[in-house]
Amino acid sequence: MNKEYINIALADDDEDDRFFFTEAFEELKIKNRVSTYKDGIELMTHLEATDLLPDLLFLDLNMPKKSGIECLKDIKANAKFNDIVIAIYSTSSSEEDVEKTFVLGANIYIKKPNDFEKLKKVLSEVVTTNWQYHTSGLNKENFLLRL
């Protein structure tokens, strides 16, 4: 990633969560550009239209109109989006969801923290990870991010 800033996108229907998300990145000392979408349809419409694809995409699972799982499927089916690193960003960490998103090819699974400091820590960890290296060693054990 030789660009000056990291392009980050979040699709989440919850306004508060989008607020925490952008606020956390504002406080992090990382050069970034965050764009948020309030559902899957909005996200996919944007992704298909733009040439400036996000480096890192955070996907909430439970969204109206189009769920995170459906978005994940569509993204993985399109070669154009091959380079996007996908982080699942969900309230629950039910085994079923973790298993499903892992199989579908998501890179990491983040359970939304209940503390703002923790949120910052998690996000900075995800952003600073060398994904090319991490992806080669990806397995089910380290898929769910634990702090």
**Shortest distance, CB of residue 57 to another protein, whole angstroms?**
21
Stretch that binds another protein, among 37-45, 102-110, 114-122, 136-144 (CB under 8 A): 114-122
Tell me which of 78, 92, 132, 135 binds another protein, using CB under 8 A: 92
- Minimum distance of another protein from residue 116's CB (angstroms): 4
Piece of 16-24, 32-40, 72-80, 81-89 that binds another protein (CB under 8 A): 16-24
The whole-angstrom separation of Cα 109 and Cα 90 is 8
Strand partners, 89: 110
Rounded least distance, CB 140 to another protein, Å? 14
- The gap from C-alpha 49 to its chain's centroid, in whole angstroms, comes to 19
| Of residues 26-65, those binding another protein (CB under 8 A) | 62
Contacts of 123 (CB under 8 A, 6+ apart): 21, 24, 25, 28
Rounded-to-integer distance, Cα 98 and Cα 108, Å = 9
